[in-house]
Amino acid sequence: MRADDLKDIPLFAGLTDAQLDELIDGSTEVPIELGEDLFHEGEPADFWWVLIDGAIALHRKIGREDTVMGKMDVPGRWAGGFRAWDEHGVYLASGRGLADGRVLRVPSDLLRERIDAWFPLAGHLIKGVYGTARAIESTARQREALITLGTLAAGLAHEINNPAAAAARSVSALDTACVTLLSALRRLAEGEATAAQFSALDELRVELGAGTAIPDPVDLADHETVISDWLDEHGIEHDWFIAPPLAAAGAGVEWCERAADVLGEALEPGLEWVASTLSTATLLGEVKESTRRITELVAAVRSYSQMDRGSIQTIDVTEGIESTLVMLGHKLRDGVEVVRAYGADVPRIDAFAGELNQVWTNLIDNAVDAMNGVGTLRITTRTDGERIVVEFTDTGPGMPPEVAARAFEPFYTTKDVGKGTGLGLDIAQRIIAEHHGGTVKITSRPGETTLQVRLPRQPVSA
């Protein structure tokens, strides 16, 4: 490699031929081969890798998955070299050949020596900025992750608590209903009712099972009062237990009269048995519905977290959006109306599903915050040529142009101290742009702010 190979690279602008030769003499030209690793995540960053031509994919292990974080595809892009200023510096990602070319591998100690000799002040500045920036970004990103995790955990706990509490109440009531059912059945079996009477009573019970319940709460309460009065007139002591399930099942005074004709002296235990049977069926239905809801929530969490799935998948973006809405349900329920406008012709795409869910979380959470928890969130999906478009539109006050222009800057936030890190939209843009080859755009006016995400059918880094 000669100095002429480096002159046109902006990174080396201002260096003389002699300086470039000094850098080249202590360095090595390394060929880039497709699929071959040049350096590895976590290893000491003993070299500074400067791209001359070709392309390198930067990837790292996240959990059990090998995830592409970005790429070097413009001459002058560089990676590593951190040990020039930090004795503990390691590669933050692995570099793998994406297109044939070559790279200049500069030892970190040579990089430090040349910087100190050519730009002594710059060396001190780089060391200070590197250490400070790394500490700030590490702390801020950890806090952003903890905030997101806390939000999701609180939401999930809130969502699961409702059906879990309902199931617990139903099980408790079911225990009482079963005790009453067995007691009534024992009284019937002790001689207060014959086999023929019990068979006829069971036929009447089946009629209620096939009947239509009264849906209106006011009508149901009135109907329950009528049955309770009838029971009281016939000397039934437990009318408070018998009347509600009979009314809910659609029984009327006419049905009660028929039951009285069938049962005779065994009217009270017979009606208690029917009421207990109806209550048991209703409570079992409530337990079934509650546990079904819990199962759905667990499935939503599994879908959101993408557990046991590969990084790149062929996905339906609406599934990820829906699982994210479930995770954030506690923030949406009280004052936010979600309007879905999903396009029927939107195709499935190849994407990093878990990362897209992180994007949807940030965009939805920001929209809810912008509306102070009250307003309308409209989510739209559609196709536009070879790309799909996902839009999140909120009815908040909107962003001034100067805020919208800086919204994607890392650490820039308009939230109060302690309420934001300024990394949400930065992370979203990095995932969409660097990992998927898409774009994120903001359009805003008073009362309407739209975050538009455009995604190719296949991520460029796949």
Q: Please check the confidence at residue 305 and state whether its pLDDT lies above 70.
A: no
Least-confidence region, from 181-195, 243-257, 269-283, 334-348: 181-195
Reported as a single tens digit per residue, the pLDDT across 68-77 is 878 899 999 9
List all residues 6 or more positions away from 310 whose beta carbon is below 8 Å from its beta carbon: 65
User: Could you give the 3-state DSSP secondary structure of residue 126?
Assistant: helix
CB neighbour list of residue 275: distance below 8 Å, 6 or more residues apart = 180, 241, 242, 244, 245, 246
Q: Write 25-30 long-range contacts (CB < 8 A, 24+).
A: 26/106, 26/107, 26/110, 27/1, 27/104, 27/105, 27/106, 27/107, 27/110, 28/104, 28/105, 29/1, 29/102, 29/103, 29/104, 29/105, 30/102, 30/103, 30/104, 30/105
Provide φ and ψ at 348, rounded to 5°. Answer: -70, 150
Contact partners, residue 258, CB within 8 Å, separation at least 6: 204
Q: What are the DSSP calls for 218-260, one per residue?
A: HHHHHHHHHHHHHHHHTT-TTHHHHHHHHHHTT--HHHHHHHH
Q: What is the pLDDT, as a whole number, of residue 307?
A: 47
Cα–Cα nearest to 241, from 267, 264, 273? 273
Looking up tokens 């546990």, which residue turns up?
291
Mean pLDDT throughout 367-381?
92
Q: Tell how strand 28-32 and strand 94-107 pair up.
A: antiparallel
| pLDDT tens digits along 320-350 | 899 888 878 877 877 899 999 999 989 999 8
Structural domains in the chain, CATH included, are 4-118 (2.60.120.10), 160-295 (no CATH), 308-456 (3.30.565.10)
The single-letter DSSP state of residue 414 is -
Report residue 311's pLDDT band, with 50, 70 and 90 as the boundaries: low
DSSP state of 431: I
CA torsion sign for 118, 121, 125, 127 is positive
Q: What is the amino acid identity at position 105?
A: R
- Mean pLDDT, range 434-447, rounded to an integer: 88
Q: For residue 144, what pLDDT band results from cuts at 50, 70 and 90?
A: low
In residues, how long is the chain?
Answer: 462
Q: Pairing relation of β-strands 336-342 and 375-384?
A: parallel
- Please say if the pLDDT value at position 407 is more than 70: yes
Residue 458's CB is within 10 A of a number of other CB atoms, namely 15
Q: What is the mean pLDDT of residues 173-184?
A: 86
pTM for this predicted structure: 0.49
Bridge partners (DSSP) of residue 47 are 107
Q: What is the DSSP letter of 10?
A: G
| Run of H or E including 336 | strand 336-342
Q: How far is CA 343 from CA 2, 143, 371, 376, 426, in A?
A: 56, 36, 25, 19, 27
> Using an 8 Å Cβ cutoff, are 274 and 256 in contact?
no
pLDDT band at residue 287 using 50, 70 and 90 as cut-offs? confident
| Beta strand pairing call for 65-72 and 47-62 | antiparallel
Residue 389 DSSP SS3: strand
Q: How confident is the model at residue 377, as a pLDDT?
A: 95
| Identity of residue 301 | V
- Tell me the DSSP string of 282-320: HHHHHHHHHHHHHHHHHHHHHHHHTTT--SEEEE-HHHH
In whole numbers, what is the pLDDT of the chain averaged over residues?
82
Cα distances (angstroms) measured from residue 57 to each of 67, 294, 321: 10, 41, 28
